[in-house]
Structure 1
Amino acid sequence: MSLLVETTLCFISLLTVFNYVICATENAASGARAATFHFPEYAYKETSKNEVTYHDYELACSENLMCKNNANLVAKLNCLRRCISPSCYQDIYAFNELEEGEIDVRMNSFKGCVIQRI
């Protein structure tokens, strides 16, 4: 790469970082906050018995043709969880389904709900 191209790319990178810092500072100064996500929380103790029980339900549901034939990973996970426990799914995921790229912070609550309701 030429020196001019490298310098231009470096300058654009610095501008991007500078813009991000300015926006973050303005949001903090204006009192803007990140949205807080709330969902029902159920206690889950990760014991071998609970893990085996949950895995057995998950395995049985993975044979469900509606879930099995779903090529999209997130849609398949949503399907499996609906199959494992429709009522727990309704409580924890239905109002805001898991999306592509989302870190599933609700999984332990879902497992806790399932174990409580078995």
Structure 2
Amino acid sequence: MQTTEERERDTWMDLCYDERRPNYLKVNGIRMHNSLRIGVLCLVVMYLYLLGIGCAARKQYIYQRYHYKKKPKVEKRYKNELSNCERSDKCLQLHGVEKTMCARQCMALDCFHELYGNDLLEEGEVDVRVTSFKGCWQKKYFTIARSGL
């Protein structure tokens, strides 16, 4: 009869060959065929590799964040100005991301350069900076409205 310590030692033993079946490997008391062991090892390695790629491929944006509080009056003004810029001669012939970037340059060039200057928006990219752009534009809009220009 084994003591608790002996059972724990036998259970957590790294690897031991089963003498009765040389093509099998015993891992923590479970017999595994060598090809199954290799397959499991390959899956683990592939999972770790893909996990590393996923972490490395994630883009980290470092940009000035502006607070934007959605208010009906401000939202209406923003949409009107955006629509006017999209219909301007400069932006009318463009499509997709180019049209969006053109309209934002038209609305607030300084905000555009601050948020998108170093890293332009690409086709298919989710724009995580749009709220900050609206906040920057809102700050500019209220500064102009208060100064009476």
Aligned to 2:93: 69
Aligned pair 1:60/2:77, yes or no?
no
Count of matched residue positions in the alignment of Structure 1 and Structure 2: 97
Partners of 2:86 and 2:102 within 8 A in 1: no
Higher relative CO (CA 8 A, sep ≥ 6), structure 1 or 2? 1
Percent pairwise identity: 30
TM-score, structure 2 normalization: 0.58
**Structure label with greater radius of gyration:** 2
Aligned to 1:98: 121
CA distance in 2, matches of 1:64, 1:86: 15
TM-score, structure 1 normalization: 0.73
CA shift, 1:106, in A, is 0.4
CA distance in 2, matches of 1:32, 1:90: 26
Structure with the higher fraction of residues in strand conformation: 2
Aligned pair 1:51/2:75, yes or no?
yes
Runs of 4+ in 1 over 3 A off after TM superposition: 31-35
Gaps (5+ residues) in structure 1? 1-17
Q: Output the aligned Cα RMSD.
A: 2.3
Gaps (5+ residues) in structure 2? 1-42, 142-149
Structure with the higher fraction of residues in helix conformation: 1
CA distance in 2, matches of 1:33, 1:103: 14
Equivalences for 1:1-12 in 2 at 5 Å? none
Aligned to 2:12: none
